[in-house]
Structure 1
Amino acid sequence: MTDRQPAFILVRPQMGENIGAAARAMLNFGLTRMRLVDPRDGWPNQRAVATASGAGRVLDGAGTYDDTAGACADCDYVFATTARSRDLTKPVMTPERAMEHARALCAQGRKVGVLFGPERAGLENDDIARANAIISVPVNPDFASLNLAQCVLLTGYEWRRQTAEIVPELVHLAKTDPAPQIEVEKLAEHFEQRLEEEGFFFPDHKAEGMKINLRNMWSRFAMTRADVQMLHGALRQLVRWKTRDRD
């Protein structure tokens, strides 16, 4: 069942040939849920179809999105693939461990997304900040670059080879009621709005970095729907008390 597998999200892919090669790699391991974020050469793309060579149905079912937030909106848990060390603090997993985790979540009906970055530079911090964990491949540190299709192939392979055995603590996590990414996104926006009103993002030249770090913090938490609702309520109550004190 396609809803019991992760969505592979290609963020700003640059060449149709690479999208087609990624589709082939996905179908090799039974994965069919592809999402495309702002593909550089537009969509649909005939070069992608030609390169897919038999995996056209993956391309036919691919969803397109304007931004990473939209592509992740319905996901309960998101991984970001990156070979480079980042300033953002997140759990870092091997592809094997990540796909083990993904299987546990999918087995409980949770929606999982895996982000893959553009061919030239990879994912940006703003993309990674929206993920819950990072997938890092233990490659040669002197030549750490994997092309898009290679990264998709490696991750798909680890997904396929997982057995039906699921690590107990992952099942326990999956049995909670996690907040989908769209709900975490709305909470981040609410929090950011309140901080903006109070002049928190100062000085101006540091504001963007501060906002990315805050979004990274939210995605790092394993938040439930109840957590999100409680924090929204706390923010609203703080505003009510502040307004009452002014009156």
Structure 2
Amino acid sequence: MANAALSAPTLSAPAVILTTPQLAENIGAVARIMANFGLSDLRLVNPRDGWPQERAWALASGAEWPLNAARVHDTVAEAVADLQLVFATTARPRELTLPVLTPRAAAAELAGAAAEGRRVGLLFGGERAGLETADIALCQAVVTIPIDPRFRSLNLAQAVAINAYEWRTTVADAAPPAFREGPEPASGEALLGLYQHLERELETAGFFHPPEKTPNMVQNLRSALGKARFTDQEVRTLRGVITALSRGRGKVLEKIARKRGEGEA
């Protein structure tokens, strides 16, 4: 008979998203760790040597199901489009003002969201450069492992292992999933649509000035909005607000143009 204490409640486990992974061996090692801790949703963003890669299966040591079902995406935005809560794992929060969590605190928050029926994920950077600020801006919090500052280098598979372990220990002791009340949280795809809609109108209004600061301004806006964790309904409402404001601006410009035309007549 299986030990009941080792049986985790049925929750939707986090997707593991690897951004620009370089080595097939590291992808295989990550798959092995995912299998150890009950994770199966592996997503790869622009793997350097393409996909599939035979060496990944060799390093997985029989943990083939995350590799067999792995999905490849062109961008992080595409990889997180269906997720409603995504945390970026990085030692450098950089200039974004996102909440910074330990893996244990992150696991508790992810488990709580999963218990409410939300789709959650953990985003990991590539071996060489980690995560880009623009990708972190698509997440709702940063997970930082409290390692010794004298040596901050951490292998990709090690980082996944620490976070996967904290997830497993959290859900192993968790109560059965709670009934989720309230409106549905917005997906990554819906949030990206909101961001891009707002950015287009701000561009038209001349907000992004000087032009060279546009990428940082966009990232800061996305980071600030992401922390709100909007629902689908809130995203639709905000997009309606943006549309109404842009139409109002258009009417004002039409009136100005008409008056100028009358003055010149």
With the length of structure 2 as denominator, give the TM-score of the two structures.
Answer: 0.87
**Greater mean deviation of Cα atoms: 184-193 or 230-239:** 230-239
Q: 1:165 aligns with which of 153, 169, 174?
A: 174
The 1-side partners of 2:181 and 2:44 are apart by 26
The 2-side partners of 1:208 and 1:93 are apart by 25
Percent identity of equivalent pairs? 46
**Contact 1:3–1:111, Cα closer than 8 Å, also in 2:** no
Matches within 5 A, 1:91-240: 91-162=99-170, 163-165=172-174, 175-240=182-247
Shift of 1:226: 1.9
Shift of 1:3: 6.8
**Contact 1:83–1:145, Cα closer than 8 Å, also in 2:** no
Q: 2:74 aligns with which of 50, 62, 66?
A: 66
Over alpha carbons, which structure has the higher Rg? 2
The one-letter amino acid paired with 1:181 is G
**Greater mean deviation of Cα atoms: 82-91 or 132-141:** 82-91
- 1:49 corresponds to: 57
- Residue 190 of structure 2 aligns to a residue whose secondary structure is helix
Aligned Cα root-mean-square deviation (Å): 2.0
The 1-side partners of 2:206 and 2:214 are apart by 10
Matches within 5 A, 1:15-26: 15-26=23-34
In structure 1, the gaps of 5 or more residues are none
The 2-side partners of 1:143 and 1:240 are apart by 54
The one-letter amino acid paired with 1:155 is N
The one-letter amino acid paired with 2:237 is M
- 2:89 corresponds to: 81
The 1-side partners of 2:11 and 2:174 are apart by 19
Which ranges of 4 or more aligned residues in structure 1 deviate by more than 6 Å?
171-174
The 2-side partners of 1:59 and 1:156 are apart by 16
